[in-house]
Structure 1
Amino acid sequence: MINKIEGLVAAPFSPMKENGELNVSAIPAYYNFLKKNGVAGAFINGSTGEGVSQTNAERKLQAEVWAEQIKKDDSPMKLINLVGGTSYQECIDLALHSQSIGVDAIAILAPFYFKPGTAKALAEFCAKVAAAVPEMPVYFYHIPVLTGCNVSMYDFLQEADGLIPNLAGIKYTHEDFMDFLSCLSFRDGKYDMLWGRDENLLSALVLGARGGVGSTFNYAAPLYHKLIKAYNEGRVVEARQLQQLSIDMIRLLGKYGGIATGKAYMRYVGLECGEFRLPVKNMTAEAYKAFEADVRALNMEELFSKF
């Protein structure tokens, strides 16, 4: 049986020092922040966490500190560690390390240099990694906008089902609702399909999603808790209004340069995470003042997470 995750799984940012080194000393406070805001899990070393911009040693260190916090607290929060990359040997190394420290599940990314051109090739790559940790749940992280791998996830499940016995599901960060629904329906809903686009979470809930992984869950968890509750209780108009607030908030990411704006939101709610590593462009001090004014203009202070 696959234990499906319900609710919000935050994709944490990697805290950085001013010199660009990891600041793992900030992770205990970060963990407590997420716990207080009611998230069901943390998806570490992903896109938001700059996993691909770090060395394997750094990714291991982050995983160790996160795992330590959850075990020490005996927390029900699930920890998923992205071990994906372009070398399956390095992915296996990270997977074995994740298993050794008690991470709940791993996630695998499509190779993004030599890209798999078919669902079969993608499934075979993932099977290499998953076979190294046969008792561990494995998710596939589908984000074609960054990997350039546009394989249909329905086709992937057809190839992976049976080939990867410990495949738990997919973190689905794409806008193909037809493909997503087909994956939800595959083998009578066998797999855990975690939605990965915060700006249209409501649409995924309508199709049957029960959980999601997102960067904005870090700093606006109350907004999404309220949205999910409204939808589940049949207050669809209210749920739409809350989704629009999410969209308005996310539009500021684009206005101020993209993914690094997420760390500006974290600063706004009281948790300093430093800057993104190059080549990601970071916000200037002057731009941050304008950003603060735009955030306040959203009139959604009670829907932000509190540090």
Structure 2
Amino acid sequence: MKGIYAASITPFDSDGHVNSTALVSLMEWNLKQGADGFFLGGSSAECFLLSEKERVETFEAASGLKDRTTLVAHIGAVSTGEAIRYAKEAKRLGFHHIAATPPFYYGFSARQVAQYYYDISAVVDMPVLIYNFPGNTNRPFDLANPDTQALFRSGAVLGIKHTNLNLFQMERIRHLNPALTVMNGFDETMVAGLALGADGSIGSTFNFMLPHYKKIYDTYLSGDREGALALQVKANNIMEALCSVGLIPAIKYVLTTMGIDAGIPRRPFLPLEDSQKIFLDQVLKENLEND
């Protein structure tokens, strides 16, 4: 895994059902824009608002692109058994990698969290990309804990999707095991993540501004760090605006204006108000560099 991966959304039709046709259209569009791969079924996809059947349905839709790009299935769940069911489906469908948030809600111990990953990996014979998103899961990793250290050094772990503003921790995880794949998970810290050794980025806003982030990535790798930072600032202006009105509803709105039938997010998310749409349109006009 390396480069720019879109954390794909889940489009819904007018009846609120998964719109597989729109999902494939979005992925095809992102491929033409230069996406290196796709992260299916994550936070951007409203994963924990989907039924088990719907999560598998999105995997099935995306699997048609498996011979043309790299596919990562997010299979995280609170229950180990449920996560394993998703992992089995992802493997059956030909996904190249699986990823999982740690189990949350019950305050599981570091040992229990580690065993969750060991169990998933053992059953499907695939290493797991740990989806580290403590802001949402409220499940941070303590790198001083022996069980956590053993987990990151084990063959059960492919690497980490580091959706955490603490980039020091990202570097320390790589330090624990230099063989790990490290993908930056917050779009707004991409340049900083690359500076600290990330192999690439997985991002929600890449759904509609992938060319902009591709420019950041290529500009940084070319050695023009000032140019990359200038593009990152513009991207962060957009991210700040998106978050101020609601990230998932905003991404779906913008995609719809660009011709992708994304639908509206699932409740309790609410669609944007007209004033919010006007605000976003202006911010995008001033900052987006998708050409």
TM-score scaled by length of structure 2: 0.93
| Cα contact 1:109–1:140 (8 A) shared by 2 | yes
Q: Secondary structure at the match of 2:194?
A: helix
Aligned to 2:235: 246
Query: How far apart, in 2, do the equivalents of 1:115 and 1:91 lie?
Result: 17
In the alignment, structure 1 residue 267 sits paired with structure 2 residue 256: yes
Match of residue 31, structure 1, among 27, 32, 39 = 27
In the alignment, structure 1 residue 51 sits paired with structure 2 residue 47: yes
Aligned to 1:223: 212
Q: CA deviation at 1:258?
A: 3.1
In the alignment, structure 1 residue 131 sits paired with structure 2 residue 127: no
Aligned to 1:20: 16
1:256 maps to a residue whose letter is: V
Q: 1:265 to 1:304 in 2, by over 3 A?
A: farther
Aligned to 2:169: 179
Within a 5 Å distance, the mapping from 1:63-142 to structure 2 comes to 63-68=59-64, 70-71=65-66, 74-75=67-68, 77-118=69-110, 120-134=111-125, 136-142=126-132
Q: CA deviation at 1:154?
A: 7.1
Query: How far apart, in 2, do the equivalents of 1:260 and 1:252 lie?
Result: 12
Q: Secondary structure at the match of 1:27?
A: helix
Query: How far apart, in 2, do the equivalents of 1:133 and 1:127 lie?
Result: 10
Q: Secondary structure at the match of 2:71?
A: strand
- Consecutive unaligned residues in structure 2, runs of 5 or more: none
Query: How far apart, in 2, do the equivalents of 1:154 and 1:64 lie?
Result: 39
1:8 maps to a residue whose letter is: I
Determine what percentage of the aligned residue pairs are the same residue. Answer: 26
Aligned length: 290
- Consecutive unaligned residues in structure 1, runs of 5 or more: none
Query: How far apart, in 1, do the equivalents of 2:222 and 2:75 lie?
Result: 37
Q: Secondary structure at the match of 1:182?
A: helix
Over 4 Å off, 4+ runs:
153-157
Deviations 1:108-164 (A, max 9, x none): 11122112233x321112112221111x232110100110101235756512146x5
Query: How far apart, in 1, do the equivalents of 2:84 and 2:151 lie?
Result: 18
In the alignment, structure 1 residue 144 sits paired with structure 2 residue 134: yes
Deviations 1:77-98 (A, max 9, x none): 1111111111111111111111
What CA RMSD, in Å, does the superposition of the two structures yield over aligned residues? 1.8
Within a 5 Å distance, the mapping from 1:134-213 to structure 2 comes to 134=125, 136-152=126-142, 155=145, 158-161=149-152, 164-187=154-177, 189-213=178-202
Q: Secondary structure at the match of 1:80?
A: strand
